[in-house]
Structure 1
Amino acid sequence: MESGEIARVGRNLYCISDHQTPIYDYEYSELAVIIQKLIYERHPFLEYRIFELVQMNEFLNHQIAHNAVFVFVEADLGDFVFETLKEKYPGKVLLNPSVKEYHLYWQDDLIIVGKLLTEAPKGKKAVWHTCLEKMLVDMTAEKVIKTTFSEAEYPGVLEQAFQKYVIDESQMFRYAKRRHIKDDILKIIQSQTGIKLRTEK
């Protein structure tokens, strides 16, 4: 599996990679990398994921021009990360903002500290990375993220993601279930895309 020749697509389900269907990878911005290093230095045992709005641009027709960095932190520890980041980026960090607060205080390269749920998938190359399975779920489960692109684009995003990359369906739907939107995503896939799932029928 490490070589990329065998890829996991579901629980006890694997496929032979044809070297044309890669594992999703994303090159983080300089800001995101600095944030990650700062968090690791101050809180080395903390579990967290980092997501950037512009990560979605690969799959969106209407591109996001202004980035924001989301740092999802394990339960009840967001305050510590918020204080750490606020020291370095005063006036640019929000803690668990509502949609209204996000748009009220929005600025380019805004940093949002949110809550990391249990069952959240880990990154493939580094634990803190946001893998594609998590991103696809968060795009419709995270209220703030959901407002940053047109909902009409979501079926196309799913279609592109499944065409271009190996998707661990079991991991994605387990996380979607944890976020109470598994049935919603399944319905979109079955009624608005041509995706043929290996695990869910």
Structure 2
Amino acid sequence: MSNETTSAILSFAEKHHDFNIEDLSESLCKSMDINRSSLLWHLFKLVNSNVLIRTGRGMYAKVTKPIFSPQPADDIIEVFNLLQSNFPFAKFCIYQGEIISPLQHHLSSNRIIYVETERDSAETIFDFLKGEGRPVFLRPGKDIVYRYVDMDSRTIFVKNLVSEAPLQEVSGIPMPTLEKLMVDILRDSDFFYLQGSESEHIIENAFRMYSVNRSRLFRYSNRRKVKDELLSILNNLNLQ
């Protein structure tokens, strides 16, 4: 990426709270030779790097809110290190249920440890953790969670990790991005207690409190087949 073009875009973003590509192009073309496709490519890279965010259709702004980056609890690090040492080639996403709490409207207890891995590895990981004496469920649905799970205990849920799911590394631990968490709450049956009006509050709070990468959010929601539902929620919340 050209440093000169990047600097020019960020300088423009500093002076304009929200801007579209037409205004940006008109401004930059006065001082440099750059076409629309090149400009779009630079904007795409800046959005993916969390330097800019999309605030609407064709609209951009500089990131001013913090990035959602919850710290893994000690027992999350312990579980990850255990799995990493025994399954060094498996891919994981691991996090504690408490990271959802700051986004909630009606606070509910959730101390579950979520271990996500590739579909082909999930049953092997489940058997291993069970053999280690850990309280663990494999891909639990609504009925299993409702009947048999104490959400206030450090029970482990082993789930499928969706390919190309947006992850972030925090203190060496692969954890979900905010965009992944919002979509999974809408889609996964074990999050049934958060779905409906509470999921709308979670999404509203996520946008209010943190920087949201809309491109990442829409791409993942489309992959998980909840994009239409998400767009409807954003429209109702005037976040489109």
Tell me which interval the TM-score lies in, with the shorter structure as reference length: 0.7 to 0.9
Deviations along 1:105-125, one digit per CA (max 9) or x if unpaired, are 213111010111112111153
8 Å CA contact 1:53–1:64 kept in 2: the answer is no
Letter in 2 for 1:98: G
Other-structure match for 2:147? 104
Equivalent of residue 95 in structure 2, options 45, 51, 58: 51
Shift of 1:187: 0.5
> Which entry has the higher C-alpha Rg, 1 or 2?
2
Counterpart check, 1:95 vs 2:138: yes
1:37 aligns with 2:93: no
CA distance in 2, matches of 1:110, 1:37: 17
Does residue 1:25 correspond to 2:72, yes or no? no
Structure 2 CA distance for partners of 1:179 and 1:17, relative to 1, 3 Å: closer
Distance 2:219 2:62 in 1: 23
Distance 1:130 1:178 in 2: 16
- Measured in 2, the distance between the counterparts of 1:6 and 1:138 equals 21
Separation in 1, partners of 2:155, 2:52: 35
Supply the AA of the counterpart residue of 1:57.
S
RMSD, aligned α-carbons: 2.5
Count of aligned residue pairs for this structure pair: 188
Larger helix proportion of the pair: 2
TM-score relative to the length of structure 2? 0.70
Tell me the SS of whatever aligns to 1:57.
helix
Please list, as runs of the form range in 1=range in 2, the aligned pairs for 1:103-142 lying within 5 A after superposition: 103-107=146-150, 108-125=153-170, 126=172, 128-142=174-188
Using CA pairs below 8 Å that are at least 6 residues apart, which structure has the higher relative contact order?
Answer: 1
Partner of 2:20: none
Return 5+ residue gaps in structure 1 as ranges: 197-201
Relative to the length of structure 1, the TM-score reads: 0.83
8 Å Cα contact 2:53/2:62 also seen in 1: no
- Structure 1 residue 64: deviation in Å? 2.2
Cα distance change on mapping 1:6 and 1:13 into 2, 3 Å:
farther
From 197, 210, 231, the equivalent of 1:152 is 197
Report the identity percentage.
24
Q: Does the CA-based 8 Å contact 1:119-1:174 persist in structure 2? A: no
Q: 1:75 to 1:62 in 2, by over 3 A?
A: same
Assess if the C-alpha contact under 8 Å between 2:50 and 2:213 holds in 1. no
Residue 14 of structure 1 and its aligned partner are, at CA, apart by: 6.9
Amino acid of the residue matched to residue 113 of structure 1? V
1:13 positional shift: 8.7
Name the CA shift for 1:89/1:173 in 2 (closer, same or farther; >3 Å): farther
- Does structure 2 conserve the Cα–Cα contact (< 8 Å) formed by 1:6 and 1:14? no
2:208 match: 163
> In the alignment, is the contact (CA less than 8 A) between 2:72 and 2:173 conserved in 1?
no
Unmatched segments (≥5 aa) in structure 2:
1-44
Matched, 1:84 2:128: yes
| Deviation for aligned residue 1:186 | 0.4
After superposition, what is the alpha-carbon deviation per residue over 1:104-147, rounded to whole angstroms, capped at 9, x for unaligned?
Answer: 221311101011111211115356211101000001101111x2
Q: Residues 29 and 184 of structure 1: is their aligned pair in 2 closer, same or farther, counting only changes over 3 Å?
A: same
Task: State the SS of the aligned residue for 1:39.
Answer: helix
